[in-house]
C-alpha cells in the first residue's frame, strides 16, 4: 500500500517537474555526502594553512591555471577571514582564522601601514615575496579584520590614506610617491584608484569615520563604471561581486554595471554563480529553483575530492594589464571557503518542503 502511494507520488506531474538537484538535496544520502564534503573542506584548509597562520596564493602568467607559482600576501588571508568568518564556528575552523588574524595583526608596521607581501623583515621575503611599497588595499583590509592594539597607528594610517586621495574623491593604490616605489611594475596609470580598493577602504571607513565613508560612497557611485577604476579586476570580477553586499551593509547603495559582473575566463563562471547564489540566499531572496542550483553547484564543486577547486580555483585578481609583465592570482583556499559559506547558507536558510503524501 505505502509502496503504491509512493510510486503514485513519484509519477505525478508535479514530482516529475522537479529538477534532479532539487530532489537530490532532500535525499538523506545526498545530505550526508554534502556534510562529509564540508568536513573535508575544513580539513583541507587546516592542512594547507602554513605554520605562521597564513595561506599561500598561486599566480600564473596567463588567465589559465597552468604552471602556477606561489607567494605569500596579506590580501588573500584577509579575504579568507571575511569569506569564512560567518561560518567558521559551524565549519570548525575558528582556530584557523584566529591564527590568521594574529598573523595579519603582526604585519602592521610602525607607521600603521601594511604591505602586500608583509613586513620587510619577514622570513618569506626573497622566497615568497619581495619588499613592496605599502598600499591602501591591504592597509584597510588588515585594520578591519585584524586591528592592531595601538589605535594611534590607525590614525597615522588614515592620515596617509587621505594624502593619496585623488581629485575625484577615490583613494589611490600605492602609499608612496612613484620615485619611492619598490617591487612595482606600474602600468599606464602608475597609481590607480581601483574599484575593489575603494570598496575595502569604504568598509574600514564605515567603522571608523562615517562622514569619510559617505563621501567615498558618493564618489565611487559616480565612477563605478569608468574603465580606469577596473584595473585589477577587469577580467576577475569575483571580489567586487562578493564585496557588493558588504558595501551595502555599510550603508552605501552601490550599483555595479552588469557588464562588469561577467568573465570570459574559462571555468570562472561557476565561482561568479556561487557569489550570486550566496547573496540571494543570505538575503532571503532566493527562489526554490535557486536552492536547487546551489545544491547542484555544491555537488559539482565537491565531486572527485574537490577536483574542480584544485584544477580551476577562483581567480581573485590580476595585475595592471598594461604593465610589462602580466600576472593572474588564484586561491584554492578561497574556493574551499566559498564552498563552505554556500553550503552552510543553504543548510540554514533552505525552506522546508512538505513531505509527499
* Digit-coded pLDDT (tens) for 160-202: 999 999 999 999 999 999 999 999 999 999 999 999 999 999 9
User: What's the whole-number average pLDDT of the chain?
Assistant: 91
Mean pLDDT of 291-303: 97
Least confident interval from 100-109, 155-164, 301-310, 345-354: 345-354
Residue 329 β-bridge partners: 59, 317
pLDDT at 265 over 90: yes
pLDDT tier, 3 (very low <50, low <70, confident <90, very high otherwise) = very low
Task: In whole angstroms, give the CA distance from residue 331 to residue 312.
Answer: 9
Task: Output the pLDDT for position 29.
Answer: 63
DSSP structure class, residue 135: B
Cell of 256: 555595479
Task: Output the pLDDT for position 27.
Answer: 52
Task: In whole angstroms, give the CA distance from residue 92 to residue 204.
Answer: 27
Task: Output the pLDDT for position 107.
Answer: 98
pLDDT at 18 over 70: no
Mean pLDDT of 307-326: 97
Task: In whole angstroms, give the CA distance from residue 61 to residue 255.
Answer: 31
Task: In whole angstroms, give the CA distance from residue 161 to residue 212.
Answer: 11
Q: Exposure of 302 by Cβ count < 10 A (0-12 exposed, 13-18 middle, 19+ buried)?
A: buried
Proportion of the chain above pLDDT 90, given as a percent: 88
Task: Output the pLDDT for position 6.
Answer: 38
Mean pLDDT of 260-266: 96
Mean pLDDT of 13-36: 55
* Residue pointed to by grid coordinates 569604504: 202
Task: Output the pLDDT for position 350.
Answer: 54
SS3 of residue 355 by DSSP = coil
- The residues spanned by each domain of the chain are 2-349
Nearest alpha carbon to residue 64 among 255, 282, 315, 357: 315
pLDDT at 301 over 90: yes
Cβ atoms of 243 and 200 within 8 Å: the answer is: yes
SS3 of residue 59 by DSSP = strand
Cβ atoms of 190 and 204 within 8 Å: the answer is: no
Proportion of the chain above pLDDT 70, given as a percent: 89
Mean pLDDT of 300-323: 98
Task: Output the pLDDT for position 354.
Answer: 39
What are the respective helix, strand and coil percentages of the chain, to the nearest 5?
55, 5, 40
2-349 is classed CATH 1.50.10: yes
pLDDT at 235 over 80: yes
Residue 60 β-bridge partners: 328
Cα torsion 179, 181, 182, 183 to 10°: value is -120
pLDDT tier, 338 (very low <50, low <70, confident <90, very high otherwise) = very high
Task: Output the pLDDT for position 288.
Answer: 94
Write out pLDDT tens, residues 62-84. 999 999 999 999 999 999 999 99
* Residue pointed to by grid coordinates 553550503: 343
Task: Output the pLDDT for position 208.
Answer: 97
Amino acid at each position: 500500500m505505502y509502496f503504491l502511494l509512493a510510486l503514485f507520488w513519484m509519477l505525478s506531474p508535479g514530482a516529475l517537474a522537479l529538477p534532479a538537484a532539487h530532489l537530490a538535496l532532500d535525499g538523506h544520502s545526498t545530505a550526508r555526502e554534502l556534510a562529509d564534503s564540508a568536513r573535508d573542506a575544513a580539513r583541507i584548509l587546516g592542512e594547507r594553512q602554513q605554520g605562521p597562520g597564513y595561506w599561500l596564493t598561486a599566480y600564473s602568467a596567463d588567465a589559465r591555471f597552468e604552471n602556477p607559482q606561489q607567494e605569500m600576501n596579506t590580501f588573500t588571508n584577509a579575504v579568507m577571514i571575511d569569506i569564512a568568518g560567518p561560518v567558521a564556528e559551524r565549519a570548525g575552523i575558528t582556530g584557523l582564522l584566529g591564527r590568521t588574524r594574529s598573523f595579519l595583526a603582526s604585519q602592521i608596521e610602525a607607521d600603521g601601514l601594511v604591505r602586500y607581501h608583509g613586513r620587510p623583515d619577514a622570513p618569506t621575503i626573497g622566497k615568497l615575496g619581495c619588499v613592496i611599497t605599502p598600499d591602501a588595499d591591504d592597509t584597510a583590509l588588515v585594520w578591519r579584520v585584524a586591528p592592531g592594539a595601538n589605535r594611534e597607528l590607525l590614525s597615522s594610517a588614515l592620515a596617509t590614506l587621505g594624502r593619496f586621495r585623488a581629485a575625484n574623491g577615490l583613494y589611490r593604490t600605492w602609499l608612496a610617491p612613484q620615485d619611492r616605489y619598490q617591487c612595482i611594475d606600474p602600468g599606464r596609470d602608475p597609481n590607480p584608484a581601483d574599484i575593489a580598493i575603494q570598496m575595502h577602504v569604504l568598509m574600514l571607513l564605515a567603522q571608523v569615520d562615517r562622514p569619510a565613508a559617505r563621501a567615498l560612497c558618493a564618489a565611487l557611485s559616480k565612477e563605478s563604471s569608468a574603465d580606469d577604476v577596473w584595473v585589477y579586476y577587469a577580467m576577475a570580477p569575483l571580489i567586487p561581486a562578493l564585496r557588493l553586499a558588504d558595501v551595502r551593509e555599510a550603508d552605501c547603495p552601490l550599483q555595479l554595471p552588469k557588464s562588469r559582473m561577467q568573465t570570459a575566463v574559462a571555468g570562472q563562471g561557476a565561482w561568479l554563480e556561487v557569489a550570486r547564489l550566496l547573496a540571494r540566499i543570505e538575503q532571503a531572496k532566493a527562489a526554490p529553483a535557486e536552492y536547487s542550483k546551489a545544491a547542484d553547484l555544491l555537488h559539482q564543486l565537491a565531486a572527485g575530492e574537490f577536483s574542480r577547486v584544485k584544477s580551476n580555483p577562483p581567480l581573485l585578481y590580476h595585475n595592471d594589464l598594461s604593465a610589462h609583465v602580466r600576472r593572474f592570482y588564484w586561491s584554492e583556499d578561497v574556493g574551499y571557503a566559498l564552498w563552505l559559506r554556500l553550503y552552510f547558507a543553504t543548510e540554514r536558510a533552505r525552506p522546508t518542503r512538505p513531505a509527499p503524501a
